[in-house]
Amino acid sequence: MTTERVGPLDRSVGYVLKQAQAALRSTMEAALRPHELSVPQYACLELLGQHPGLSNADLARGVFVSRQAMNGVLRGLEELGLVRRPAAADRGRELPATLTAAGERRWRAASKAVAAVEDQMIAPLSRADHERLLRDLSKCVRALTDS
């Protein structure tokens, strides 16, 4: 399906997807405020909670920020005592990050808050609709990234 212009915005998948992303982000920010975390900080804790020892580059890709921005996120989390990285790299320049005990507690509490946001977002969907949405969005991602 090739078109010459976007057309009505309420019929544009990209526009509605951006609306959903903006609504999700602002709702997540509100849910994370009591945990004193930003969305990128939370995303970093979630990745490290699920995959300890990720490098700065891996975390940046997973959080959708630049490596420079991820350095700032990690430094902030280290200053809060939530993440630790070795002073020197075992191999190359990678400094794999891990959660501290305080970081694990904060991650678990924040993850519950974010799960509640996602539950709220998908509440109108049936289980089949939810599964189809995941499949369809994955297809959209592949269409834009497989080249």
The 3-class SS string of the chain reads CCCCCCCCHHHCHHHHHHHHHHHHHHHHHHHHHHHCCCHHHHHHHHHHHHCCCCCHHHHHHHHCCCHHHHHHHHHHHHHCCCEECCCCCCCCCCCCCEECHHHHHHHHHHHHHHHHHHHHHHCCCCHHHHHHHHHHHHHHHHHHHCC
- pTM, rounded to two decimals: 0.87
Model confidence band, residue 8 (pLDDT cutoffs 50, 70, 90): confident
Give pLDDT tens digits for 117-144: 999 999 999 999 999 999 999 999 999 9
pLDDT (0 to 100) of residue 91 = 64
pLDDT (0 to 100) of residue 10 = 80
Model confidence band, residue 7 (pLDDT cutoffs 50, 70, 90): confident
Domains of the chain (ranges; CATH) run 34-116 (1.10.10.10)
